Amino acid sequence: MKLSHALMAAVLALSVPLAGAHGFQLGAIEIGHPWARATAPGQAAGGGFLKLRNAGAADRLVSASSEAADRVELHSMKMEGDVMRMRQVDAIDLPAGGSVALEPGGLHLMFMGLKQPLAAGSRFPLKLRFEKAGEVTVEVKVEAATALPRKDGHAH
Ligand SMILES: [Cu+2]
């Protein structure tokens, strides 16, 4: 029975959060702390953020989906003059041995057509699809809308 205990310990170790945050692994790709900003009732869309670290060959995040929203888009955001603008992108490149942060004010996920408001403290599953590594389902933590200053005009 020693062997099965060791196996159980290994399985449990895999699901232990890294350094206080939560993280997920798909092959050589590490998905760090997926989170979404809480939304107000009636708000149709919400932003999602996470950090990708790639220990392997170049890959791309090509799509995402979630039962929490009608669809999940990949967005970029940048300043054009005085206005922060965002637009949909086809994919997010993940360089070999590199990392990419999806964070407020930059690249992000957009949950379009929310089925219900994202409540702070709740969690929901998100499926990410990479061109080469394939699919992984991660758990998104919803954090208070005031967690970070909101300087983006996140209107759709
Ligand atoms: Cu957006």
Question: Is the Cβ–Cβ distance between 126 and 20 less than 8 Å?
Answer: no
Q: Which residues pair with 149 in a beta bridge?
A: none
The chain-wide mean pLDDT, for the chain, equals 86
The per-residue pLDDT for 47 is: 97
Give burial (CB, 10 Å; 0-12/13-18/19+) of 35.
buried
CA–CA dist 138, 85 (Å, integer): 28
Taking residues 102-117, report their average pLDDT.
Answer: 96
Which superfamily does CATH assign the domain made up of 22-146 to?
Answer: PCu(A)C copper chaperone (2.60.40.1890)
pLDDT, mean of residues 38-44:
94
Please determine, for residue 93, whether its predicted confidence score (pLDDT) is greater than 60: yes
* Percent of the chain's residues with pLDDT above 70: 79
Spacing, Cα 59 to ligand 1 middle (Å):
22
- Predicted local distance difference test score (pLDDT) of residue 48: 97
Q: In angstroms, rounded to a whole number, what is the distance separating the alpha carbons of residues 142 and 69? A: 14
Q: Does position 1 have pLDDT exceeding 80, yes or no?
A: no
- Give the span between the Cα atoms of 104 and 35, in whole angstroms: 11
> 88 CA distance to ligand 1 centroid (A)?
7
Distance CA 53, CA 59 (A): 11
CA–centroid distance, 23 to ligand 1, in Å, is: 23
Q: Is the pLDDT of residue 17 over 60?
A: no
Structural domain boundaries of the chain?
Answer: 22-146
- The answer for residues whose C-beta is within 8 angstroms of residue 54's C-beta and 6 or more apart is 28, 29, 30, 94, 95, 96, 97, 98, 99
Q: Average pLDDT for residues 23-36, to the nearest whole number?
A: 96
Distance of CA 76 from the midpoint of ligand 1 (Å):
7
Asked if residues 11 and 99 have their Cβ atoms less than 8 Å apart, the reply is no
10 Cα–ligand 1 center, Å: 38
Whether residue 114 has pLDDT greater than 50? yes
CA dist 127 and 138 (Å) reads 6
**For residue 148, pLDDT beyond 70:** no
State in Å: Cα 107 to ligand 1 middle: 8
- Residue 13, pLDDT above cutoff 50: no
**Cα–ligand 1 centroid distance for 70 (angstroms):** 15
